[in-house]
Amino acid sequence: MQSGVFYLKLAECNPLAFPIVYNHTFNRMKSKISIILFNTLLLSTLCYGQTPLSKRIDRVLSGIIKPNEPGFAVGVVKNGQFIYKKGFGLADLKTNRKNTAETSFNIASDGKKFTAACIYLLQAQGKLKTSDKISKYFKDLPKYADSISIDHLIHHQSGLRDYDTLIWLVNFDENTLIDDENAYQIIASQHSLNFIPGDQFSYSNSGYFLLSLMVKKVSGMDLVQYADKYIFKPLKMNNTTFSRTHQVLGKANGYVLENKNFVENILHTKTIGQGNVYSKISDWDKWFAEMKLHSILGDSVWKNMLKIGKTNDGKSTVYAGGLFVTTNKNKRLIAHGGDLYGYHSSMRYFPDEDLGIVVFTNNDTISPENNFGPDDISDKILGEIYPGNDKLEDIAKNNAETPYPKKNQDTLSYTGHYKLENDSTKLFYVSGNSRKLTILQGWNEINYPIIPLNDSLYYIDKTIDITFQFKKAIGGKMNRLEIIQNGKTTRAARITTTETTPFNNSEMSFYNNEINSYYKIIQKNNDFQLVMPNGRLNLVLLQKNKYRVWEAGTTDITFKYANDKITGFTLNHVRVKNLQFSKVSN
């Protein structure tokens, strides 16, 4: 399942800033810290000092992964010229082929900018208008297509439910083959939208997938060929292309960590437009030059590419034509990123400094979900180009040097499910033994141990910046938790199951015709599970009648009643809203 770019720090609602193991090799911890720290140095001046820049960058990047693990490649372009480009780790674990600046990576949603550019080129060629309603091009979509414009698709304001999330929700299988046919079919099968078009910004791959189909409808060329002819070949980006087959010569394989071993993740998505661009670091000096000079796409296309979308009430978003356009420390920044299982990417361009940084990874542990992703690698590089900021890794190392006593502890009263008081979508589970507790974060399935300082205060090994204070024992159980990080407190409350159970029997079945899927929910004592063909998923109570599908991130189920009997439930996901399931006879 493609997770898109909600992890881009410029656009995301930051996940809870727990420090998480971001480098499993050295078991170091890192807390989430604001990105791109420009304190006092002028960005217009490069001050390399006595140590060559490349050596300094080598030093801060070389310890991120082991040489025999999947890794990443980076490129730094200043004034149109590479000042650094290099690969780290392996592209292929079977052959020990190394990552280099000439290795192709799947850059996932970072390819959206090229789809948007194709649409604006077609507009410049007089073949469409971005104000057109999409019903003009897709006659068989539901009536709501009359209210969605091409602009809405480009700026993630269409309200369309996300097609790859919908396909995943059919049976929670991440290995389902997704092609143009079943992607379009499931979009066309939806009876409603997440919201009125133009009312919100909400990231959705459906819009950019439909844009890829639109390119073919109006140009007669598949997006692969159109982008090659009008973008990549003119720019001499000869190693960059959309790919439906993923059969790319010399590519880096994407790897995920399973049971302490790296396993190649085979991609099952054949759709393009929303992503599936493969590219080499060595191509990106041409793209950054185009961002500055507009020599191929032209000024009118770039004016549209950088025009930020506005919602119906006139509020500006940060999303333009496949690009986030924002500022950081009063510096203009144009950026995007991408995330697939096994691949993560980041592109940043500071136009006033004519500085561009690209980071491509084929190691899933280097990801925003693990609190250390491509943007963090970019931050390290920026710290060497513009020195003077505190080195975050040095701070962490110094903090870790203070020893704490470790003691046996009765941890039974601490274990259970907790949710944040200011964000009920953030759910985590505390388990334990006599020596330590372990926290499992439900939104990204990351887990890490915490160690006791005293009867109720815990800390993460090798750092003192974050503590976990358990509070207010009731009935022998702790029912509150305070997470204190850098002086800031985040409060959480234990989730109890004392409410009346919604089930009068042990099993119920439900059906939704928009995704043509049956869900079976079983009850065992006070525990509930969602039974799917490929396994069982746990339901955790959030509030009366509302449950979180624990293994499915931000997927919630709220039961509906009539005459005190369950008639169905509403499923909500961050990218799919108000999916209605009806109870069926067993």
| pLDDT tens digits for range 403-451 | 444 445 566 678 888 888 887 767 777 877 655 688 877 666 566 778 7
- Residue 27 or 521, more confident: 521
Q: Looking at residue 413, what is its pLDDT?
A: 77
For position 298, what pLDDT does the model report?
98
Residue 40 has pLDDT above 60, yes or no: no
Helix H or strand E segment including 334: strand 331-340
Do the domains 507-584 and 20-33+55-159+194-269+283-394 match in fold? no
Report the relative pairing of strands 343-350 and 277-280 from DSSP bridges: unpaired
Q: How far apart are CA 470 and CA 112, in angstroms?
A: 45
Calculate mean pLDDT across residues 40-61.
62
| pLDDT value of residue 475 | 66
Return phi, psi of residue 474, to 5°. -130, 125
Can you give the pLDDT at residue 583? 95
The rounded mean pLDDT for the chain is 83
pLDDT tens per residue, range 1-17: 443 332 222 222 322 33
Least confident of 25-34, 157-166, 298-307: 25-34
Q: Which CATH class is domain 412-494?
A: mainly beta
Give dist(CA 481, CA 469) in Å, integer.
6
Q: Is the pLDDT of residue 402 over 60?
A: no
558 pLDDT more than 90: yes
Among the listed residues 154, 114, 157, the one whose alpha carbon sits nearest the alpha carbon of residue 347: 114
Tokens read off for 28: 């170091």
Fold for the domain defined by 507-584? Lipocalin (2.40.128)
Q: Return the percentage of the chain with pLDDT > 90, whole number.
A: 59
Q: Which residues contact 81 (CB under 8 A, 6 or more apart)?
A: 285
| Domain spans of the chain, in order of start | 20-33+55-159+194-269+283-394, 412-494, 507-584
Instruction: Copy the structure tokens of residue 245.
Output: 């087959």
- Cβ-in-10-Å burial (0-12, 13-18, 19+) of 207 comes to buried
**pLDDT, position 549:** 86
Collect all residues with Cβ–Cβ distance below 8 Å to 384 and sequence separation of at least 6: 53, 56, 57, 60
For position 461, what pLDDT does the model report? Answer: 63
Q: Compute and round to an integer the Cα radius of gyration of the chain.
A: 25
> Closest Cα partner for 159 from 220, 211, 204, 96?
204
Whether pLDDT at 463 is above 90 = no
Question: What's the predicted TM-score (pTM) here?
Answer: 0.80
Could you tell me which residues come within 8 angstroms of residue 176 by beta carbon, excluding any fewer than 6 positions away?
A: 167, 168, 170, 268
- Residue 19 and residue 399 in contact, taking contact as beta carbons nearer than 8 Å: no
Yes or no: is domain 20-33+55-159+194-269+283-394 CATH 3.20.20.70? no
Task: Give the burial class of 299: count Cβ atoms within 10 A of its Cβ; 0-12 exposed, 13-18 middle, 19 or more buried.
Answer: exposed
Q: Give first-to-last CA distance, the chain, whole Å.
A: 31
